[in-house]
């Protein structure tokens, strides 16, 4: 769907066409829920956040001028809500502790229980590291590596040049990777044993 079609879709939503709004939800509902989940790591919170984002989208449809892709506009609208929720979670004592339930919806099913356990531990490690890096780096990492947005869309959503997006993304990856390595080194025995059981290289 190009910019003109997206603009037309928004216009139809503004005119009160239920079918158009259903189409918009079908196109972006899953994506926005995914972004919300990556910021909250809890199903209930993610649904609440995504609901809030779509309410905001509906109430601000008249502001969309078709200047850039609809997904970028939606992310720019939802950015403050996501950051607010992320900061709220950060203030909780258990912020850096990522539970099994939190990562369960993100895991692919594995036939081997040991491999499944290893994947779960790696994922928990990833989100623990993510929680320790600055917000401006974490949000770009989530949008790019977890939600698969293009550099251009991220730049439009966050009002940043492509070069800044790439630079921040590189630093975010480097920070997360370093923290993962440091944690693995500090609890090396546990990971080595899991890896040995799973037969995978860690």
Partner 1 sequence: MSCGELERLFVAGAPEEEARAHRAGCPSCAALGNDLDSAARIFSTLRTPEASRFFIASLQAIPSRTVDCEAADLLAAAELEGEISAADGERLAFHRSRCEACAEAAGVLADARGLAAPAPAPWVLGRLAASRPEKKPRASIWRLVANPKGAIALAYAAAVVVMLTGFNPADLARKAGVARLEETAKMSAETAGRSLGDRIGAFEEDAVRRLAVWKGHVTGYGRAAISRAIQLVMKTESQPPPSRGKNGEEKGYLRKEETRTEVWRA
Residues at the interface with partner 1 (CB under 8 A): 14, 16, 18, 21-22, 25-26, 29-30, 33-34, 37-38, 43, 46-47, 50-51, 54-55, 58-62, 105-108, 119, 122-123, 125-126, 145-147, 163, 166-167, 170-171, 173-174, 176-178, 180-181, 202
Apex 139 CA angle, 89 and 116, nearest 5: 75
Q: Which is nearer to partner 1, 26 or 92 (CB)?
A: 26
Q: In angstroms, rounded to a whole number, what is the distance separating the alpha carbons of residues 99 and 82?
A: 20
- Locate tokens 């900061």: which residue? 87
CB 78 within 8 A of CB 56: yes
CB 77 within 8 A of CB 53: yes
Min CB(170)–partner 1 separation in Å:
5
CB atoms within 10 A of CB 33: 18
Q: Which is nearer to partner 1, 2 or 112 (CB)?
A: 112
Min CB(74)–partner 1 separation in Å:
12
Min CB(192)–partner 1 separation in Å:
14
């Amino acid at each position: 769907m190009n910019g003109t079609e997206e603009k037309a879709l928004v216009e139809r939503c503004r005119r009160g066409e239920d079918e158009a709004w259903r189409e918009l939800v079908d196109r972006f509902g899953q994506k926005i829920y995914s972004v919300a989940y990556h910021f909250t790591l809890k199903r209930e919170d993610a649904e609440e956040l995504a609901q809030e984002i779509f309410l905001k989208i509906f109430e601000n449809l008249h502001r969309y001028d078709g200047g850039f892709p609809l997904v970028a506009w939606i992310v720019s609208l939802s950015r403050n809500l996501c950051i607010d929720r992320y900061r709220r979670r950060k203030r909780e004592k258990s912020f850096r502790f990522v539970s099994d339930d939190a990562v369960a919806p993100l895991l692919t099913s594995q036939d081997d229980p040991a491999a499944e356990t290893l994947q779960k531990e790696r994922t928990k490690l990833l989100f623990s590291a993510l929680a320790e890096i600055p917000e401006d780096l974490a949000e770009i990492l989530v949008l790019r590596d977890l939600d698969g947005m293009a550099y251009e869309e991220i730049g439009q959503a966050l009002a940043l040049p492509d070069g800044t997006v790439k630079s921040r993304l590189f630093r975010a990856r480097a920070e997360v990777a370093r923290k993962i390595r440091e944690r693995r080194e500090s609890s090396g025995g546990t990971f080595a044993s899991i890896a040995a059981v799973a037969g995978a290289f860690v």
